[in-house]
Amino acid sequence: MKNTRHARGITLIETLVWIALTVIIVEALGLTLNYYYRTNRYAIQQANAVTSGQRGLDRMVRVIREAAYSSEGAFPIVSIDGDDLVFYADIDADPLIERVHYFIDGTTLVEGIIEPSGNPPAYSGSETESVIAEYVRNTSQSVPLFEYFDELGNEITSYSNWANVRFIKATLIVNVDESTLPNQLSMSSSASLRNLIGR
């Protein structure tokens, strides 16, 4: 007598068991990822904000180093303040010098640019603004964005002495949620005004 095996198809019950197991596994993974995101959301958002803030600070300091006389011959610095700086610099390697404005608007660090136009070049019209850092907490922490120094390293506390500025320190405080620990992160960088050294 021959022993023969007959191949049988997957039954409806086996199919339902496989579907149920798949659903349970997918749901468990989803709940795990959701729990991870909820418990680590602040850390993830803070890390992203710090990375963005560092990029914005680096960009700002690079541009400040390039402060130069305007295309119409004006002095490189227009005005200074704790949270507001206006100056001229070449930001796009073209023959003309742009008017650059860095300032805090609420909790964002903004860069405003005016391209010169006409002959002779003039700086008219409104600024083209772009946000270069978010979750900036300088204002709520009473920390100025900018500190200014003269050629001897003395801090300039009177903002009417903008013509003496030769060195600028920038401090950016970033925190996604001030009510959540850990506290905000403070980042600092500085720039010498290359085109004014020795003048």
Has residue 34 been placed in a domain?
no
What pLDDT digit, counting tens, does each position of 108-159 carry? 999 999 999 888 888 988 999 999 999 999 999 999 999 999 999 999 999 9
Residue 43's pLDDT is what? 77
- Surface-to-core class of residue 141, CB atoms within 10 Å of its CB (0-12 exposed, 13-18 middle, 19+ buried): middle
The predicted structure's pLDDT at residue 63: 95
> Between the CA of residue 33 and those of 27, 28, 146, 180, 183, what are the distances in Å?
10, 9, 41, 22, 26
Whether 187 is in a domain gets the answer yes
pLDDT per residue as tens digits for the range 47-63? 888 899 999 999 999 99
In this prediction, residue 12 carries a pLDDT of 79
Residue 38 reports pLDDT greater than 70: no
More confident call, 36 vs 114: 114
Indicate if the pLDDT at residue 181 is higher than 70. no
Domain assignment present for residue 10? The answer is no
Checking if the pLDDT of 41 tops 90, the result is no
Question: Would residue 107 count as lying in a domain?
Answer: yes
Domain that holds residue 136: 39-196
Query: Mean pLDDT for the chain?
Result: 88
Residue 24 lies in a domain: no
- The count of structural domains within the chain is 1
Q: Is residue 3 part of a domain?
A: no
80 domain-assigned: yes
Q: Count CB atoms within 10 A of the CB of residue 86.
A: 18
pTM: 0.77
pLDDT of residue 89: 95
Asked whether residue 1 is domain-assigned, the answer is: no
Which uninterrupted H or E stretch holds 102?
strand 98-105
- Distance between alpha carbon 94 and the CA centroid of its chain, in Å? 25
